[in-house]
Every structure is written in structure tokens, then in C-alpha cells.
Structure 1
Amino acid sequence: MEEKEMNQNLGEQEEKEENAGENSEEAAVEAEVVEEGPDLQAQLEEAKASELRLRADFENFKRRTRQEAENRAKYASQTIVEKLLPLIDNLERALQVESHSEETKQVLAGVEMVKRQLDETLHHEGVQPILALGEPFDPNLHQAVVQEVSDEHESGTVTAEFQKGYKLHDRVIRPSMVKVAE
């Protein structure tokens, strides 16, 4: 019997050692999970923050792209308008001619109709003339080519317009060339 008890005691001791080994392995795994837990939490928070930044960047990209497309559509006619401005200037000069004969008056009436049509078409495209004469000088709208001393006008007032300026929507496409009182 003693042998049996010894074997039984040995078996129990081995079992205890195995259980202790398993418990120590489980404890080590739990320790790793506990140690990795904050790391995983930090990684998760970092991934969420990164996703939010990416979403915000994408929304900003979409907004910028939409804005650029709207601007392209809004100012698409700028090139052709810039090419038409000298034509408008020449039509205005033609209309300043004094007419004495009936034929010249008829030609000027035709030129007046063409200019009016052109003005209406440009107005529908968003082109507006810049008001200058009698207005305060604004370097964003006017280009001063001459300054003169004037008793009739306040200093900084536009006294003459040499070339009409134009805006397309809110963008100046050609400033007015003006004379300004000192």
C-alpha cells in the first residue's frame, strides 16, 4: 500500500505542477492581454481619428472640386468677353461721329442697334460696365493714367474716363482708365 500511496502522491504532485504550469501560462496570457489592452485601445482610437481625418479631407476635396467647377462655369465666357471689349470700344467711337448726311445717320442707327444687341448679350452673360465718372477713385476698379488739380471736384474723384472698364460677375476683367482730381 505504501507504494500505492506514494504513486498517488507522486501523481497528485505532478498534477499540481501541471496545473501550476497551466495557471502560470494562463496568468501570462492574461498579463499579455492586460498589457496589450491599452495598446489595442490606443490603436483603435488612432484608427478612428485617422478615419475622421480622411473623411474630412475627402469632404474638403469634394467641396473644393465643386467650387472649382462652379467657377469654371461662371467665368467660362471671360476669354471671349475680353476679345469683344475692343469691338465695343470701336462701336462706341463710331457712335461719337457727327453725322450730317442722311446716309451717315442711317449707318449710325445700324451701328447703334448692333451695339445695343451686343450690350444686352454681354449683360445676360454677367458683364457689367464699371461706373467711373464722378465716383471716388478705387484702385481695384480704376486705373489712374492722369492726375489733375481741380477746383470743381474733390480730391480722389474720377473726372474723366478714357476707356470703360468691365466686370464679369464679381471679377474685374478690365479696369477703367481714368483721370483723377488731386
Structure 2
Amino acid sequence: MEAFNFIPILLERRIDLGNQDKEKSKNKEETLNGLHEDDNEQESSEQDSEEETEESLEEKVLELKDQLLRAHAEVQNVRRVAGQEITKARLYGAESLAREFITVGDNIQRALESFGQEADIKSIKEGLELTLKSFEDSLETAGILPISPKGDPFDPEKHEAISVVEDAQEEPNTVIEVIQRGFTIQNRILRPAKVVVTKKADNK
């Protein structure tokens, strides 16, 4: 009888073990399913992140292209305006200088007309001096200034030596005579002055 009583106990244990195995298997399956779901969610999240990154890069590329086009258009506009301003400056500069020389021409015409009125030498000289003064004023307005270096040391950048003479009273390389005045324009040499320069006297 005791042996028969032990059989139900074994059956109950087997049933419990079977239930435990089923529960473990179920838990394992649920765990695996959870892992698969996590992997799927992670893959989906990574894919979404990559798509967002690509969209962001495309937007930045388009923005940079737009900025480049705007900058190019602005540079072209600046060049066009600068070209127009340079052209205007040249035209207006020539126009202003032309007005000044017209005045010089008027003075020369008056000087010539004075010859027909039996003018004396003094009045002719005064007329020519006035004309020369008007001419020099016109040049100065255009930034053109004369070089009159008499008494100055010889400067090969501003002067052209036509002759060299001995002079015991002056220091060597001194300009003692100006044959033809030179001119500068905006501090640049337009024409060097032609001069006579001294050299050390040869003591014999």
C-alpha cells in the first residue's frame, strides 16, 4: 500500500517539473522576443537617425549653395558699381581739366589780340605772365606741380643733368641752372627737370 501511495507523489512532482520547464521555456521565449523587439526598435531608431542626418546635411548643402550664389551676385554688383564709378571719375576729371585749359586759351587769345592794339612790351609781358599763372593754376588743380630745383642738390630721380660745370663757389652736384622745369603728378614724376650741375673745381 505504501508503494502505491508513493506513485501519486511522483506524478505530482513530474507534473510540477513539467510545468516549471514550460514556464522556463515561456520565460525564455518572452525574453528572446523582448530582445528581438529591442533590436528592432534600435535598428528602427538608427535608421530614423540616419535619415534625419541625411536630411540635415541636404538642408545645409542647399543653404551653403544659396549663400554662395548670393555672395557671387554681390561681388558682381560691387564690380559693376566700381567700374561705373571709375568711368565717371575719369570723365569728370577730364571735364574739369578741360574747363581749366579753356580759361588758359582765353588768356592767350587776349594776349594775341593785344598785339593788334599797338600794346607796349610791358603790357604784353604782363599778359603773358598772367597766362602762365593761369596755366600753372590749372595744372595745380589737376595735381600737377612744377619742379624748379635751382640751388638744390642734384637728384637723379627728379632731375636730368644736361651739363656739368666746375664751380668753386658751390658744392659739387648742386643745380645751378634750370634749363627746363620738370613736373610731378600726384607725387609721381611726370617729367624730370633738365638742369646744369656743378662739379668740384680742378685745382691746378
Q: What is the TM-score of this pair, normalised by structure 1?
A: 0.52
Partner of 1:164: 181
Sequence identity percentage = 24
Deviations 1:4-47 (A, max 9, x none): 63345313222124325655x59978xx9xxx9xxx9xxxxxx9
Contact 2:148–2:178 under 8 Å retained in 1? no
In the TM superposition, what are the counterparts of 1:72-87 in structure 2 within 5 Å? 76=93
User: What secondary structure is seen at the aligned counterpart in 2 of 1:105?
Assistant: helix
SS of the equivalent of 2:120 reads helix
Write the distance in 2 (CA, Å) between the matches of 1:106 and 1:16.
Answer: 119
User: Residue 150 of structure 1 aligns with which residue?
Assistant: 167
SS at match of 1:123: helix
Q: Distance in 2 between matches of 1:131 and 1:142?
A: 10
1:15-94 matches, within 5 Å, as 15-20=34-39, 22-23=41-42, 25=43, 76=93
Aligned residue number for residue 119 of structure 1: 136
Kindly state the Cα deviation for residue 128 of structure 1 after the two structures are TM-superposed: 2.0
Question: Which of 139, 147, 151 is the equivalent residue of 2:156?
Answer: 139
The reply on whether 1:14 has 2:33 as its aligned counterpart is: yes
Q: What SS does the aligned partner of 2:137 have?
A: helix
The one of 184, 189, 194 aligned to 1:177: 194
Which structure has the bigger radius of gyration? 2
Q: Residues 149 and 26 (structure 1 numbering): CA distance in 2 closer, same or farther, change over 3 Å? A: farther
Q: Which protein, 1 or 2, shows the higher relative CO under an 8 Å CA cutoff with sep ≥ 6?
A: 1
Q: Structure 1: which 5+ runs fail to align?
A: 41-46, 92-100
CA displacement 1:54-73 (0-9 Å, x = unmatched): 9xxx8xx99xx6xx95xx66
For the residues of structure 2 that align with 1:26 and 1:151, how far apart are their CA atoms?
105
Distance 1:28 1:156 in 2: 88
Q: TM-score, normalised by structure 2?
A: 0.47
| Secondary structure at 2:29 match in 1 | helix
Distance 1:11 1:102 in 2: 130
Aligned residue in 2 for 1:95: none
Give the letter for the 2:28 counterpart. N
RMSD: 4.4
User: Relative to 1, partners in 2 of residues 1:159 and 1:22: Cα closer, same or farther, differing over 3 Å?
Assistant: same
